Each structure stands twice: as structure tokens, then as C-alpha cells.
Amino acid sequence: MKTEREVKIRQVEIRDAFWTPMQKKVLDVVIPYQEKVLRDEIPDVEKSHAIENFRIAAGLSKGEFYGMVFQDSDVAKWLEAVACALALRPDPALEERADEIIEIIEKAQQPDGYLNTYFTIKEPEHRWQNLYECHELYCAGHMMEAAAAYAEVTGKEKLLHVMEKMADHVIDRFGLEEGKEHGIPGHQEVEIGLMKLYRATGKEKYKDMARYFLEERGKNPDYFYEEKLKRNWQYWEPYSTERMDVSYNQAHKTVYEQDEAVGHAVRALYMYTAMADLAGTDGDERLFGACRRLWENIVEKKLYITGGLGGNPEREAFAGNYELPNDMAYAETCASIAMVFFAHRMLEACVDGCYADMIERELYNGTISGMQLDGKSYFYVNPLECVPGVSGKAFGYRHALPVRPGWYACACCPPNLVRMITSLGKYCWGENDSTIYSHLMIGQKAELEKAEIIVETAYPWKGETAYIISPKTREAFTLAIHIPYYVDFSKEAAEITVNGERVDAPALMKKGYVYLTRKWQVQDRVEIHFPMEVRKIYANQQVRENAGCVALMRGPVVYCFEETDNGAGLQSLRIPGELKAEANFCREGILKGNVLLEIEGFRMKGDGELYSEKPPVKEKQRLTAIPYYAWANRGENEMRVWVPEE
């Protein structure tokens, strides 16, 4: 089933006006900042203690474990980000510090292969007793991902061998064989790590273990309840013998029977990612069919326009179909990042523009909104409406903060975002024996098997992209370029040319990709031009909160309105039925380099009474909209994405 080979990070050098500055900021500011947080060197932010936990577990320091039960995973994600950063730009000092941390991790590993600082330091007698709550497999999965990335980029395999030993320990403990525990992770992630360990080592047993964890889930929906009855303690709350909601971690049905995204959004999406990866790798049509059904439920009924996922703030979960509240949205940054992972694995298994469109939606909206433009503070939750005094304070809204904190006690999102941004290149391309697939219009130089390709683009602000091809073979091959879903080649202004000659794009289009097949010559040039119009987007009428409202998009970017530009009381703004909007580059201030929208709109004004028989008066007002990902960078103020249409 797998239609393309995975492109490695080192094969792609990002050279893009939008993404290169962001990657540079991550390299220069964010990775060093996060390292200092992990080492407890930044005052006035939530303490991490994550590296010190490993030192204590290794016997190099004395002290007590501090932090969440999954604190190890912050170090793992940061190490993976470092590996990807080293692929972008060599940094011997950073690599040396990472090597030192890996040595500490190696020393913290127990003789039987077990690796987890919480249970090594605090409760060694309770190892593997509470899979539902305690994240041992989750932490292992993230460290497996870090190990595979670090070995790929640096060639150093110390962490890889550590995690092979941990994986072998897991295999010895869990499985269907006699004497093994028929356990599954409470928080899915180890399945992704095992698949990456399989690729890094070529050892089938790791892929087989990923399949076991996926296929065992839901076979016994009472597993976690039975596990609870065997012990007399819990981690998060006082012990009770009540049954738990196993749909929360998707253990209510087998993966083949699930057709609705339910429960904790990140757990679900990590599981779907591993399912899609395994389905593509093994050519498993039945498993891929399950992935497709879950995908359709998400994108058709449970996805915010920004790519946010999780409409239920209680337990970070998916809400019901069409339940997408804007001001109470959870939309965890990690969930949007996980959706990128899921879409990428679906795309590898089946080339379809809907998956590339989703990666694009997430990259330009729901992921990077999680980081301040200076890289030093982060959103865990990404609401689509903010009202100071309510957001972050009132009951039911306390999760939706109006400003980004410097760190969190539960800091899963910041290092997750960094590893995604530094690994951006691997989402751009796919390749098989006959075709090179370009998934994203990002400026770059790519060294692929069949060709070196340079991409020059002004995207996402302009619909102008050029591909300069230098083939490495004399044989004909296909270059398949993803065309964003909103581009209409029936319009005269939209065109594709090869060496200046216009091609019949609609005739060459298949599932969102234009397929160009020829014997390519050195410096052959493919150019794509299309207008970047401001578009009004309407929600399904079953989304109660957005009935009568519109949101604005230009290219892949979702826009929002802030009080800073438009005054207080954003609920009084109206977008006219006939939209008149100008797109202008911002040339100063914190938003410099972004395209802002200027709109001829209205504000409704009443007589000041709480209730009145006098209708509000409509007044003209020039409105300004900014990219959603850039909100909350100019102090605490109101924000909203969806605005009533006049």
C-alpha cells in the first residue's frame, strides 16, 4: 500500500521567507531557552527538574523526583528537536551537551532495561502496575523517537541501544504469549516509537510489538478496571474501585471497530498515527480503512477551522459531532501537531491532496499559534475567541488563557512544537520508483534520489512558486505537485507552466496533485501562479456557535480580529455580505512581515440599556484582521475568529 518512501531531514534544506526565520529562531532562541528550563535555570517560570530527575535516577545527584509522572518525555522531545536541529545546522557545543544528557539517561537505565525516572526514584515497587495513569510506555515511546532521530542525524547509537534495551524489556513483559501481561498503554505513543525503532534498526520485533499494542486495545474493555482491582493505589486521585471511562483512551472498542474520534484528543491522534504508519508499511487495507473512517469523522465533524482538535475542555477531549465552542475550545497544541503526524502517515500510505491540505492547515494555524513570536512563551490551549476577565478566569474558561505563559507544569506542548518545526523538511516530499511528490509549497533545496529540486516561493503570502529541476537520471519520471484545495485553474489568473509553456492543469490533476511526466533536463522550470483572494468561510449549520457567522482565510492562513486593532466589544463587529478586503504587508512592529487584512465592515451600537425595544444602529468601521497564529502578541486583549455576517 505504501506509495512513497520517507524523505529524511538531511535531504531538505529549508530556504523560505516564512519558515527559515522561524527555524532560525528555534535554533538560536527556543532550543537554548528550553534547555535552560529543563535544567531549572530560568527564574519565574514553572520548574521542570526533568534533567535533574535523570541525574537522581542515575545516582549522580541526591534528591526527590519532581514534576508530572511523564516528566521524562519533555527531555525526550527536546532531544529529538536537537537531533533535527543538528541536521539543519551543525552545533558541536549543543551536540556535546546532548551527548552528556544521553550518558545520564544511559546511567539511569536499570539492569533489566527499564527506564523511567518517576518509578526508579519514587515508587520502584509500583513499576508497571498502573498503565492507565502512569505513562511509562508513553515516556518510552518518546525516548524511542528521540533515539531514532539522534542516530539518523549524528550516527551516534548510544541512545538507540538504550531504547532497544528498553523495548526488549517491554517485549519480554507484554504480549499474548503465556506468562506475559496482556497490557496496553494508558496513553498511546509507544506505538509510534516502536515503528521508528523498527525503521532505525530493521528489527521486525519492534513493528510486531507496535501491532500488538494496537490490536490488543479494546479486545478487553475491562482491562484497565481489572488492572485497578489488582492494586490499592492511584496516581491522580484517591483510590476507588469504580469503573473508568475507557473511551477516554480509546479502549472501548478494537481499532478496527472505531469510527468516531472520542476521548483524549492527543492519545487518539497518536494512536491513529501509528495505525496509519503500520497500515501503510504492511499494506494492511483493513487497518487503513479504519484510519480513513476516523479521519472522515474528524475532518467532517470535529475539526476547528484553525486545525484545532478537542472541543471538550474536560479531560482534553473530543466533544460530540459538531460540538465546537470557540471560547471554551481546548484545541491543545499537541493535538494539532499530532494531526500533522497522522496526516503525514496517511499521505505516505495513499497520495491524496486532502492529507497535504491538512498538514498545511495545521502548520500555518493551529500548531504555531502555540508559540509566542519571540519563542519564549507558549499556549497549551488555542481558543478561537478570547474575552479578558472571562478567558483564563471564569469557571469553564480557566483553561483558555489570554496570554502565553513562559512554561507549564505539564509542558508537553513546547518541545513537541520545536521538534515539529525543526523536522519540517520531511513533510515536504515523498518519492517512489516512478514519482517525486511535492506536498508543500515551501522554499527549499531538496536532494532526492531522482533529482535535485530547488523550490522558490512567496507562499503563503503570494500564489507564486517555481520548481527548478536538476535530474539525476536520463529516464523519464513524474513530478507530482500538490495544489491547495482552494486553487481554481478554471480561472485565467491561475496557471502552471513548464519552461514557460502553459499546461492543461485540470487534465493533469488527480486527487489534488498535478502530475507532470517527462524526461527532465537540467534547469527545467515549473512555475505555478494563482491569485490569493480573501475567502469567506461558513461553518456547517449544525455548529451552533458559528451559525450566521463567517471566518476569513487567505491562502492557507486563518485570520482573526483583535481588540488592539478594532476596539473592545468584538461581538459587535459585522462582516458585510459583499466582502471588500485589502491584503497589506505589515512593515513595522511585532507583526512585521505578516499580511494583514483591511475590511470595510460595520459595528452595531445600542442605546446602552440592558434590554431595549430600539434596534442597534449600524455604523461603518474599517476592520483589521491578523493571522490567527499571531494573536496575543500585543498584550492581553479580545480576540475572535468567527464574526457575524451582516
Query: Which residues carry out catalysis?
Result: 316, 412
| Spatial distance between the Cα atoms of 292 and 599, rounded to a whole number of angstroms | 39
**Which residues have CB under 8 Å from 74's CB, separation 6+?**
38, 48, 50, 411, 412, 415
Give the three cell numbers for residue 184: 496496553
Distance CA 58, CA 534 (A): 56
**Integer CA distances (angstroms), 28 to 11, 374, 507, 622, in order:** 22, 11, 46, 38
Rounded CA separation 430/427 (Å):
8
The helix (run of H) or strand (run of E) holding residue 105 is helix 92-108
Task: Reduce the DSSP state of residue 620 to 3 states and report it.
Answer: strand
What are 626's three cell numbers?
491578523
- Beta-carbon contacts of 558 under 8 Å, excluding residues fewer than 6 positions away, are 305, 306, 364, 365, 551, 552, 627, 628, 641
- CA–CA dist 305, 536 (Å, integer): 12
Taking a C-beta distance cutoff of 8 angstroms, is the pair 308, 382 a contact?
yes
Q: What are phi and psi of 597, to 5 degrees?
A: -110, 135
- 149 phi and psi, to 5 degrees? -65, -40
Write the burial class of residue 304 (CB in 10 Å: 0-12 exposed, 13-18 middle, 19+ buried). buried
Q: Which residue has the cell 502517515?
A: 345
What gap in Å lies between CA 495 and CA 502, rounded to an integer? 7
**Packed helices 72-88 and 31-38: angle between N→C axes, nearest 10 degrees:** 150
